[in-house]
Each structure stands twice: as structure tokens, then as C-alpha cells.
């Protein structure tokens, strides 16, 4: 079978087809391996190839190896430049990059086609090769074994690559547990108050455990979780949700990557220095713990 690219721009049609298939893969199959397979040439080869095709529609002065090398090199330069432009005009994320680079590829594919139409036929860039199936009878038994082994290795390598690409990769398992001050930052905590003055803070829990987890959050004045359990009926302090319900603990059920954030209020009825403790329990055991030292003073007359 003889394949010839000269009068008909099969190479540019293949470029447009690959780009279109990538857009469909991103839109219809977000977690598909095809995003990776089609994304690599989209980033590393296609932009440079269409630009080279536009700049050099003639068969000279570049040979095939030079065109391929320049296509890779220019693609590596073009993609960051498009990203730089997006940084000032839109944003650097999947959809803007996909649309912007696709527009570049489609535009220069069309321009390359128009330049080829205006170039004399005898000067056009030409790719011609012939594919002939091998005659199995021409091989001795050693060659046949090597061919079968090579094909088997290629199939096994492809299956392994597919397995690696499609199997979810589990990173480090952990839970984010934090206390934020009134400004929503990890500072400006309400730890210097007067008697019965209300302090406000927020607690954040983010599940990074790659599974659903049931947590229990317990907040109170105490040095250990056991101390706090004994002091739970203490009447000189209270914890409140924004609904002003009496608050001391709550149960959380979070999926992987799910975030829980809650604003809390507290006040203390006696002056002194206290340890405001936060315990995050998992299956009844203390899993994470934090604390704030707070100072309560008498109200000024």
C-alpha cells in the first residue's frame, strides 16, 4: 500500500482530526486514558508542525528529520507562550489552554493549506512511503520466534501502560485540621478576652484519606480529652454555633476531598489562663488535636 502526501493535505487533516478527538475526549470522557494519549502530541508536536507547514510549504529547504525536530522544538516554545498570554488575558487552566491552543492549531492548519494551494505542485512538500505486509514464509523459525516475542512484548507493554494510566494513584493519606481567626487566616485569634466576652473563630476539616471518614469534633477547655470529658458540664464557659445552640461536639461524615468549615463562638465566665482544646476523633480515638492558649481578664470599670 502506497501512501502519498503531496497534492492532498492528509497530514493537516490528521492534525485537525487528532485535535478534535482531544476536545471530544476532554468534554465527554474526563477520566479517560485518551486524554493522555491525545494530549501529548497536542502539547509537544502539533503546534510546531502546523507552524512549520505554514512557513515551509515547499519540499525544500527542510528534510523530514528537520521538520520533525523543529516541530517538537517549536511546540515546546509555543505552548508556554500561549500560557503566558492566558495568564494576562484569561486564566491558566485546562479549558482555556485547550481552546486557545486548538484555535492556534486550526488557524495555522488552514493557513498552511492555503499556502500549499498557492505553491506549484512540483515544489510541494511531499511525503511518500509504501507499506507492504511481510511474507511469513520468508522467515526462518528463529525470526518467527523473535517476531512473535516482539509483538507479545509490545502488547504487554501497552497493557501495562494502560493499567498504569487508568489505575487511580493514591497519594499520602491525611486529614487537614485547622483553626482560623476572625479574618479567615491562621492568625488574629481571639485569645485575649474579658470575662463573658465572646470570641469567634472557625474550624476547618478536609478529608484527604481517599475514603469516606466519620469524624467527631470536640471542643472545650481542658488539657486532655479525658479532662475535657470531665469538665463537659462546666457552666462558666459555652460553645455556640451561629444558631446559638449549646455546642460542645459534632459528628462529621466527609467524602474524600470534602471540606467542612464552621464558625464558632465561645466565652468564659472566670478570669484566668485557659487551654482551648480541639480534638478530632476517628472511630472513637483522638486522631488530630490542636489548642489555643487564651487569657481572660476582668472587665474594666
CA-based nearest residue to 182, from 289, 240, 264: 264
Same domain, 240 and 188: yes
Looking from the CA of 281 toward its CB, the CA atoms found within 13 Å total 14
Cα separation of 264 and 204, whole Å?
Answer: 11
Average pLDDT score, the chain: 78
Boundary of a domain, candidates 112, 132, 152? 132
Same domain, 138 and 55: no
Report pLDDT digits (tens) over 55-106: 888 877 777 778 888 888 899 899 889 988 988 888 888 888 999 999 999 9
Report pLDDT digits (tens) over 258-301: 999 888 888 777 788 877 888 888 877 888 888 888 888 887 76
What per-residue confidence (pLDDT) applies to 18? 92
Cα separation of 57 and 117, whole Å?
Answer: 9
Same domain, 84 and 39: yes
What per-residue confidence (pLDDT) applies to 169? 59
pLDDT band for 107, please (50, 70, 90 cuts).
Answer: very high
Same domain, 179 and 238: yes
Same domain, 69 and 149: no
Report pLDDT digits (tens) over 196-228: 888 888 889 999 888 899 998 888 775 455 554
Same domain, 25 and 120: yes
Same domain, 157 and 190: no
What per-residue confidence (pLDDT) applies to 285? 82
What per-residue confidence (pLDDT) applies to 133? 64
Same domain, 269 and 160: no
Residue 213: other Cβ atoms inside 10 A: 20
* Better-scored residue on pLDDT, 34 or 167: 34
Report pLDDT digits (tens) over 222-262: 545 555 455 444 434 444 433 333 346 778 889 988 999 88
* Better-scored residue on pLDDT, 107 or 123: 107
Residue 280: other Cβ atoms inside 10 A: 19
Which residues contact residue 283 at a Cβ distance below 8 angstroms, ignoring those fewer than 6 apart?
214
CA-based nearest residue to 214, from 137, 159, 300, 282: 282
Cα separation of 112 and 79, whole Å?
Answer: 19
Same domain, 81 and 155: no
For residue 15, pLDDT beyond 60? yes
Same domain, 145 and 246: no
pTM to 2 decimals? 0.47
Boundary of a domain, candidates 106, 132, 158? 132
What per-residue confidence (pLDDT) applies to 237? 42
Same domain, 119 and 9: yes
pLDDT band for 109, please (50, 70, 90 cuts).
Answer: very high
Cα separation of 141 and 86, whole Å?
Answer: 58
Q: What is the CATH number of the domain that holds 211?
A: 2.60.40.10
Cα separation of 243 and 132, whole Å?
Answer: 78
Average pLDDT over residues 128-137: 62
- The structural domain count of the chain equals 3
- What domain range includes position 139? 134-169
Same domain, 242 and 196: yes
Q: Tell me which range, 11-15, 159-163, 222-226, is most confidently predicted by mean pLDDT.
A: 11-15
Amino acid at each position: 500500500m502506497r501512501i502519498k502526501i503531496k497534492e492532498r493535505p492528509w497530514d493537516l487533516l490528521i492534525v485537525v482530526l487528532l485535535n478534535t478527538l482531544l476536545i471530544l475526549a476532554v468534554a465527554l470522557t474526563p477520566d479517560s486514558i485518551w486524554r493522555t494519549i491525545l494530549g501529548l502530541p497536542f502539547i509537544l508536536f502539533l503546534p510546531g508542525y502546523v507552524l512549520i507547514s505554514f512557513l515551509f510549504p515547499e519540499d525544500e529547504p527542510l528534510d523530514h528529520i528537520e521538520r520533525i525536530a523543529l516541530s517538537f522544538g517549536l511546540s515546546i516554545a509555543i505552548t508556554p507562550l500561549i500560557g503566558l498570554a492566558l495568564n494576562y488575558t484569561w486564566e491558566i487552566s485546562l479549558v482555556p489552554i485547550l481552546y486557545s491552543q486548538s484555535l492556534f492549531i486550526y488557524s495555522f492548519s488552514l493557513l498552511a493549506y492555503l499556502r500549499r494551494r498557492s505553491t506549484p505542485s512540483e515544489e510541494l512538500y511531499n511525503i511518500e512511503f509504501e507499506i507492504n505486509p511481510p511474507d511469513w514464509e520468508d522467515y526462518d523459525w528463529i525470526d518467527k520466534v523473535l517476531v512473535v516475542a516482539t509483538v507479545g512484548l509490545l502488547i504487554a507493554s501497552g497493557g501495562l501502560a494502560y493499567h498504569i494510566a487508568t489505575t487511580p494513584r493514591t497519594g499520602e493519606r491525611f486529614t487537614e485540621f485547622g483553626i482560623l481567626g476572625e479574618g479567615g487566616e491562621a492568625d488574629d485569634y481571639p485569645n485575649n478576652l474579658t470575662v463573658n466576652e465572646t470570641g469567634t473563630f472557625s474550624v476547618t476539616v478536609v478529608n484527604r484519606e481517599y475514603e469516606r471518614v466519620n469524624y467527631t469534633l470536640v471542643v472545650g477547655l481542658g488539657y486532655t480529652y479525658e479532662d475535657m470529658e470531665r469538665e463537659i458540664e462546666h457552666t462558666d464557659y459555652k460553645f455556640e454555633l451561629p444558631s446559638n445552640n449549646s455546642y460542645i461536639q459534632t459528628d462529621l461524615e466527609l467524602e474524600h476531598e470534602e471540606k467542612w468549615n464552621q464558625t464558632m463562638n465561645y466565652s468564659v465566665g472566670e478570669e484566668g489562663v485557659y487551654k482551648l482544646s480541639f480534638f478530632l476523633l476517628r472511630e472513637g480515638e483522638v486522631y488530630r488535636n490542636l489548642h489555643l492558649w487564651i487569657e481572660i481578664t476582668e472587665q474594666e470599670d
